[in-house]
A and B are shown apart, each in its own frame.
Chain A
Amino acid sequence: MSHSAATAPPAPTAPPAPPGGAREHRRFTLDRLDLTYSPYVYIAPFFLIFGAFGLYPMARTAWMSLHDWDMIGERTFIGLDNYTRLLSDDYFWNALVNTFGIFALSTIPQLLLALFLANLLNRTLLRAKTFFRMAIFIPNVVSVAAVAIVFGMLYQREYGLVNWLLGFVGIDQIDWDGQTWSSWTAIASMVNWRWTGYNTLILLAGMQAIPRDLYEAAEIDGAGQWRQFWRITLPLLRPTFVFVVILSTIGGMQLFTEPLLFANGSIIGGNQREFQTLAMYMYEMGLVNLNSAGYGAAVAWALFMIIGLMSLLNFVLVRRAAK
């Protein structure tokens, strides 16, 4: 290779080398090798890194979940005991319900709002489109910890802005982290604030891919904006929407930082675990408790399977609904 590399590049002004001979043959072989194998080399870094930081930890977690595993001490193989223990664990089910509750409160309004905003931004008549498209993405750029801290302050009982504003309309101070519904709402509002713009942009990109002439034809046939949205935009947006729903599902199921900071860093999420999510429970069992890392790993795998199931379910539901 070094030989050919030294001789191969022709001088820019020189005429092309005459055809024929061994040299031409070698060049042809290299060319074919390049075409056949270089794509694999291009994608190799991803798979190597994924293997080391994605696949290996997953396999290792699965292995851990079959053990009674002390983080800094003994470990014994116990088969599927950790998984059977999960089924009768109140905290696990509590975390599952919390996760779904916060997920529903954040994902559903968020996607509806994103759809609405994307549709607005897609209007041809809107001025300063680029400005609005960029502005809507800004919340997503802010670090999640900063968001959680600021929202945590807004929702404080004594000095919080939200309670202060509610006071004007005669609503008593709400102890936001003291009840299930209020803590879920507060956390969902952080998630919504952060991710609505992101989803709007993805949906907008999907809308832009819909051919303009469809709308023009509909316009000529006398279809109004609303009818166009239902009849053209929504059906053709389906693949994008499925993608957005699955992304939100994965994100929602893994919710961790917002509820953790909302609880001032307490891993149990509220005095009665009102907003402890599955990811927090996994962390509590796997890392905060020294001696239940195997159980934490089982929670992690349960979470993984739930995300898989949820994604599948959403995929099927959204496809069917859009038909």
Chain B
Amino acid sequence: MSLTTRRSRLAASALAAITAIGGLAACGNDDEPVAGEKPGKLVLETFGEFGYEELIKQYEKDTGIKIELRKTAQLGEYRPKLVRYLATGRGAGDVVALEEGILNEFKSNPRNWADLAPLVDDHSTDYLPWKWELGKAPDGRLMGLPTDVGSLAVCYRKDLFEAAGLPTDREQVSALWPDWDSFLQTGRTYKQGSGGKAFIDSVTAVADAALFQQGADLFYDKENNIIAGTSPAVKTAWDTAVSMADISAKVATWSPEWSAGFKQGSFAATFCPSWMLGIVADNSGEENKGKWDVAAVPGGGGNWGGSWLAVPEQSAHHEEAAKLAEFLTSAASQVEAFKAKGPLPTHLEALQDEAFLSYTNEYFSDAPTGKIFGESVSKIEPIHLGPKHQAVKENAFGPALRSFENGQAGEDEAWQQFTKDAEIQGAF
């Protein structure tokens, strides 16, 4: 080997080492934005379907700021991502959506969030009062601007109802089930009429709907003590759910079988908070357009979910991000989002808006969803959800119900599984 090649090898390896070190160092400061400068781009982070696509285009045109919309399909995947961003201090969008079930755990460390009050106009009287109050952190800062609430309804397949000999008109269908018992009876009638087909997707869907219409403390009391095992509201929802096992298709919500079930017609009805309409439509596809309709929920209204838009402290553009959140939660935007994907307005003006009230959803057989959901909003009672409500619901309540539904556990056994897991999941 000649001296020349050996020496150039030495130089090359030194260069490689330097590049490696330089590469590590560079991780620290890649295009760090300068505060106060007008941002070229804002990142908006949502889960599920918020119906913001068209609104964003309009905002980009009006302001010249590019908006990157990052969507995660499920809340279950979205939340850990958000936690990671907050824990590492980087990566979060400039505006992020916070769902009611996870809002409280983020409230316990409010310093992670920018106070929106000084950044936007005073909106304190514009929204449903309880919704506005929930957006505030314990230290008084305004953590989020209200987007939607999840008023309840039932989505049902008209063609399948007809085939099973049930009425299809939405008024008549609503009249079939004033309470949960009559809902169960209707399900059994459907099962007989259709040759043994399932009526609803799962007992957990029943449980969620029944849980949120209780209007009382659910897994936590007002002092944030976990009361899952003794809460009457939880027990009522549980009992309602387990009674429905024989009319259920036993497919877990959000599973591939659940999504496929909409297309295949493996169940004839499911529970639809307003935001679920877009998901039902997307899963069922164009070919089932006009076959779905919307009826009232048994046992009266309730609030299943609903979100706020917040600005993480780590965002470099608090002011512009707050402006974007303000725009997206304005009355006009909420009406537009409702038309696009169904999230129900919380802005008082939007709820009175003629365009909202007269809106009929083409996909759902022209159901007057504006009127149906709009009327129920006023009946919504605020519920106190504890810090780890979502974890208890997803990792204790749901799995225990499913193991009963699938025959893995008897009812008592499943209840024990739930109470034990709730204590562990709910500890904070």
Which residues of A pack against B, CB within 8 Å? 5, 8-9, 27, 30-31, 34, 38, 41-42, 44-45, 48-49, 52, 70-73, 91, 152-153, 156-159, 175, 178-179, 264-268, 270-272, 287-291, 293
Contact = CB atoms under 8 A, between A and B. Distances in A.
A297 B399 CA distance: 25
A273 to B, nearest CB: 8
A200 to B, nearest CB: 31
B83 interface: yes
B185 interface: no
B408 A41 contact: no
A52 B26 CA distance: 13
B105 interface: yes
B408 A71 contact: no
A272 B408 contact: yes
Given A71-B86, A265-B74, A290-B83, A38 B257 contact: no
Contacts of B230: none
Interface string B68-91: 000000101101100110110000
A9 B6 CA distance: 11
B256 A178 contact: no
Given A38-B10, A271-B402, A271-B406, A9 B77 contact: no
A45 B20 contact: yes
A69 B372 CA distance: 46
Interface residues of B, number: 53
Given A45-B17, A178-B407, 7 more contacts: A27-B3, A34-B7, A41-B17, A48-B20, A71-B86, A71-B87, A264-B256
Contacts of B257: 156-159
23 contacts: A31-B3, A41-B17, A45-B16, A45-B17, A48-B17, A72-B106, A73-B109, A91-B424, A156-B256, A157-B257, A158-B251, A158-B266, A159-B260, A175-B406, A264-B254, A264-B256, A265-B76, A265-B77, A288-B80, A288-B83, A288-B391, A289-B425, A291-B427
A5 B17 contact: no
Contact of B6 (A34, A152, A159): A34
B257 to A, nearest CB: 6
A264 B255 contact: yes
Contacts of A41: 10, 13-14, 16-17
Contact of A272 (B84, B251, B409): B409
- Among B9, B394, B406, B407, the most chain A Cβ lie within 10 Å of the Cβ of B406
- Among B7, B391, B403, B425, the most chain A Cβ lie within 10 Å of the Cβ of B7
A289 B10 contact: no
A282 to B, nearest CB: 13
A31 B4 contact: no
B398 to A, nearest CB: 8
- Among B266, B399, B407, the most chain A Cβ lie within 10 Å of the Cβ of B399
B252 interface: yes
B365 interface: no
